[in-house]
Amino acid sequence: MKENMLSTSTSNSSFLNAGNYADLDDQMTILDCETRNFHRPMSKVRKMAFIASIVSIFFVLIIFLLLPCNKNCVSKHHITKLTKTINWMRNYENVEFKGKINTIRTLNVENTPLNLIFMYRSDKFFPNSDVKKSKQKSSGGIIKLNGNSGEIVWKNEMTNEPRYLDCSLIDCNKNGRKDCLIIDDYGQLACIDDTGHWIYYNSNSKNTKQERQEIYDFPLIIPDLTSDEVFEIIMGSYKNNATYLALLSGSNGKLLAEEIQNCSYIHKLQLDTEYVIKFICVVKDNTEQQIFKNLTDFYALMSKKPKIAKIQSTSSIPQHEYADKFVSAKSQTTVTKIFDKELKIENKGSWPRESKMILKLTSIENGIKKIHYNYSGSKIYGFIPVKFSVNMTSIKSHGSDNIYGFIVKFWTWNGTEISYNSEKRKMKREVNQVEKSSKNMKSQRSNFTNQTYNNVYKTKLRYLKETILLIVFNSTHMKAENTSQSNIIQFCQNPIDSLETMCQPDLKYQDNSLIIADIDNDGSKELVSFYSTFVDENHGNNIINSRWKLKSFVQLFKLETELPKLYRSDYDIF
């Protein structure tokens, strides 16, 4: 019994001891947790450093949020510089591009890509419903495209159709970048910056139909006379049945001085010598007189006389460049030269029925004129060519010679024409055999009989083809090849009792539809070309009931990628 009691006692004692140890473990665990979670207080130095680090982080964030990035930021510059141009083609609806293609830099950094600026006119034949309902009718405007992609950056409408555009002459708002000067069909002046903001736009109402004529030339740029660090402008103007020589402020377009001229209109305004301008004065019997005018006499007409001694030299001021095109009553001739090579394009007769084009590429060798390339044809019109030179070291078979050349665009009419009454919208089929048949059209044309209607217009549809000819040569080889062809549908319209004709797309707006430039500033050349046409969105055979949409197409391709393909062909001209 004692042993059992002892045993029991021992067991109970063990149990009790175990229980005590468990309580002790719990106490140690709690004590250990409290010990691990305990932190010694920071010193004053550590507290100050900690607070300073938090304040500095918030300070940097505020700077980045509140301070706008300048357009000359290095980061933005590097991003832009890395963007390379690739071949692209885009179309733009309800516009007809016209005139010379202008290039402009949005950023005031030398190596940033170029963007493209175009004039356009609206659809004159099939305006959409939004245009018809609009109270403010737009005749055209200015559009800016991204040079690397062709995407529209901005588009600004104008009350009057733009006639001239130059984005290389003047900085109207003094921000360090060139702005675009515009002359519209009524001789009114405007200036727009590279962001699409109108610096000034003298959009006066149209007065009389007589004022809208082919008489307005681009203005002359002269030195700053008002001490605002912006060049001034001289141009011919017509108002109240009189012709004036007007001096305008380049910064705001306001009139500074004007002098009446005994002319029906003024054109070919240009600098002659340092302080002398000259222009052609056309009098009422259409005779021309060349007039010379001293600028100092003209400056004297200003209310606030400038100090002549402080006026900048006119020889250092850029001027609008006109194409070397010689126009006579019977022909239009363009001559373009590269070294000893001369490309001459002569257009004779009225477009399209009587037109004839003669194209010759010649050089003088040992005193003898040599013809390298010759092409002529009827119902063809050649536009002003562009010339280029590229470094072709990548073409091993032709050594390291530079390659030079010309790019020519011309229109061809195959004789297909369809005429209809635009009010009745009904064909009258007097079928005549055309001179040449088209593969896509029946070889016939329909003409209206000469009937007299009030407010009725005779509308014609023509099928044209646009061809781009590339002529390249180096020291040993020469080649000529058609690089592209495009089908163009042209509409022309005139009152039945009138000889005045309005066409869209218009031949005269295509003369400067080619440009060669280094768009992405990588040292290589890009060719930019545009054309306009009407597109049948119904894809039907009924010309009258078709749903026509005016579209302009712009294409860019890198010359260095296309020229090697041309040199691999087998066609050589020696």
φ, ψ for residue 391, nearest 5 deg: -90, 115
Q: Evaluate if pTM is beyond 0.75.
A: yes
- Whether 557 maps to a domain, the answer reads yes
pLDDT value for 309: 62
- Residue 477 vs residue 232, higher pLDDT: 232
Q: 81 in helix, strand or coil? A: helix
pLDDT value for 328: 57
- Residue 445 vs residue 317, higher pLDDT: 317
For residues 136-149, average pLDDT:
89
Q: Which residues contact 546 (CB under 8 A, 6 or more apart)?
A: 536, 537, 538, 540
pLDDT value for 2: 42
For residues 347-352, average pLDDT:
92
Alpha carbons within 13 A on the beta-carbon side of 284: 3
Q: Is the pLDDT of residue 452 over 50?
A: no
Map tokens 């002569």 to a residue.
346
Tens-place pLDDT, residues 17-27: 444 444 434 44
Domain that holds residue 456: 386-574
- Whether 192 maps to a domain, the answer reads no
- Whether 234 maps to a domain, the answer reads no
> DSSP alpha helices (H): ranges in 374-421?
none
pLDDT value for 304: 80
- Residue 89 vs residue 475, higher pLDDT: 89
Task: Give residue 541's identity as a one-letter amino acid code.
Answer: N
The total of structural domains in the chain comes to 1
- Residue 144 vs residue 109, higher pLDDT: 144
Q: How far apart are CA 360 and CA 471, in angstroms?
A: 11
Q: Is the pLDDT of residue 9 over 90?
A: no
- Residue 530 vs residue 562, higher pLDDT: 530
Q: Is the pLDDT of residue 449 over 70?
A: no
Q: State the Cα torsion 225-230-234-238 to the nearest 10°.
A: -110
On whether the CB atoms of residues 376 and 359 are closer than 8 A, the answer is yes
Q: Is the pLDDT of residue 410 over 90?
A: yes
Q: Is the pLDDT of residue 400 over 60?
A: no
- Residue 327, token pair as written in the block: 């126009």
- Whether 91 maps to a domain, the answer reads no
pLDDT value for 133: 53
On whether the CB atoms of residues 518 and 525 are closer than 8 A, the answer is yes
pLDDT value for 318: 86
Q: Is the pLDDT of residue 200 over 80?
A: yes
Task: Give residue 441's identity as a one-letter amino acid code.
Answer: M
Q: Is the pLDDT of residue 532 over 90?
A: yes
pLDDT category of residue 496 using cuts at 50, 70 and 90: low
For 558, the enclosing helix (H) or strand (E) is strand 548-558
DSSP assignments along 198-247, one per residue: EEEE--PPP--GGG-STTPPPPEEE--SSSSSS-EEEEEEEETTEEEEEE
Q: How far apart are CA 223 and CA 237, in angstroms?
A: 20
DSSP 175: S
Tens-place pLDDT, residues 91-116: 999 999 999 999 998 766 666 789 99
On whether the CB atoms of residues 416 and 463 are closer than 8 A, the answer is yes
Q: State the Cα torsion 56-60-65-68 to the nearest 10°.
A: 140
**In which region does residue 408 sit, left (phi positive, over 0), alpha (psi from -120 to 50) or beta (all else)?**
beta
pLDDT category of residue 155 using cuts at 50, 70 and 90: very high
DSSP 185: T
Q: Which residues contact 263 (CB under 8 A, 6 or more apart)?
A: 243, 281, 282, 283, 289, 291
Q: How far apart are CA 136 and CA 158, in angstroms?
A: 10
pLDDT value for 403: 84
Q: Lowest mean pLDDT of 111-120, 191-200, 306-315, 488-497, name the range.
A: 306-315
Q: In angstroms, what CA-CA distances link 574 with 84, 297, 317, 566?
A: 36, 58, 43, 15
- Whether 490 maps to a domain, the answer reads yes
φ, ψ for residue 9, nearest 5 deg: -60, -40
- Whether 325 maps to a domain, the answer reads no
Of 120, 137, 119, whose CA–CA distance to 128 is shortest? 137
pLDDT value for 447: 37
pLDDT value for 136: 61
Of 321, 71, 66, whose CA–CA distance to 193 is shortest? 71
pLDDT value for 313: 72
On whether the CB atoms of residues 119 and 162 are closer than 8 A, the answer is yes
- Residue 300, token pair as written in the block: 């004297």
Q: How far apart are CA 140 and CA 505, in angstroms?
A: 13
Q: Lowest mean pLDDT of 128-132, 272-276, 445-449, 516-520, name the range.
A: 445-449
- Residue 307, token pair as written in the block: 């100090």
Q: Is the pLDDT of residue 10 over 50?
A: no
Tens-place pLDDT, residues 534-545: 999 877 666 766
On whether the CB atoms of residues 112 and 106 are closer than 8 A, the answer is yes
- Residue 457 vs residue 299, higher pLDDT: 299
For residues 456-478, average pLDDT:
87
Q: Lowest mean pLDDT of 12-16, 300-304, 480-484, name the range.
A: 12-16
Q: How far apart are CA 490 and CA 96, in angstroms?
A: 11
- Whether 56 maps to a domain, the answer reads no
pLDDT category of residue 130 using cuts at 50, 70 and 90: low
pLDDT value for 517: 92
Q: Is the pLDDT of residue 348 over 60?
A: yes
- For the chain, what is the mean pLDDT? 78
pLDDT value for 14: 39
Q: Lowest mean pLDDT of 75-89, 178-192, 204-218, name the range.
A: 204-218
Alpha carbons within 13 A on the beta-carbon side of 374: 5
Task: Give the rounded percent of residues in the chain with a pLDDT score beyond 90.
Answer: 36
For 182, the enclosing helix (H) or strand (E) is strand 179-184
- Whether 392 maps to a domain, the answer reads yes
pLDDT category of residue 67 using cuts at 50, 70 and 90: low
Q: Lowest mean pLDDT of 60-74, 87-101, 150-164, name the range.
A: 60-74
| Beta bridge pairs of residue 2 | none
Q: Is the pLDDT of residue 352 over 60?
A: yes
Q: Is the pLDDT of residue 300 over 70?
A: yes
